[in-house]
Amino acid sequence: PKPSVVFGFLALLNGSCGQKLVRMAISPQKVTAAANSAQLLANLKADGKDVTVLVDTGNPYTFFVEKQWYERTRPGGCAELKYKCYDCSPPSCREGPTKTYEFFDGLQVTVFQHSGTVDFGTASAGGINFGLVVGSNRKPFAALGLSPPSAKSKPYVPLIYQLLAKPKSQRLIEKSVFSVYLQAGTTPT
């Protein structure tokens, strides 16, 4: 019989004996009712706000959907969006220079950089730069980008590299290593 549920976690690992470990619960979920496949999603808090992100190993960008923009584009859309929205109320942030990124499937998102605290569930880090989506050619998504940086990713620094750049006493990790663990479940939730 086919397992009906898969549970997992993403671990940002580091230290030869695993002294420093950031765990995030992940699960495969459909992002729309019409989706024919599931994506690995994780729940985080950004500045105390609940957000859901696509765990993306092929992209160095971490970004969230900005609430005011999305609600102007699609009234009531944040309540329907699987990823939820980051409420960037003035004066906490101001839209700065934007950059548009295109993904393999042709989806484009336009983001501006913002800085805040990201809570992974087992640990949190302040002063983390992430993008806020203020434009998209299709339904937007939020991402936890785990791939190494590329020339195209500037000025954004991947989350893992930001964590490594913290002073040693504030570092949650010691190396740019991550693992994804999945385990089949027996009862649906």
Asked if 140 and 77 count as a contact pair (C-beta separation under 8 A), the reply is: no
The number of folded domains in the chain is 1
How long, in residues, is the chain? 189
Closest CA to 131 of 168, 105, 156, 151: 156
pLDDT surpasses 90 at 148: no
Query: From CA 34, how far away is CA 20, in angstroms rounded?
Result: 39
CATH number of the domain enclosing 112? 2.40.70.10
Is there a contact between 76 and 167 (Cβ–Cβ < 8 Å)?
Answer: no
pLDDT single digits (tens) 119-136: 988 889 999 999 999 999
87: containing domain: 5-185
At 4 the pLDDT is 43
| Cα–Cα dist 131/114, whole Å | 6
Amino acid, single-letter form, for residue 157: V
Distance CA(92)–CA(188), nearest Å, equals 40
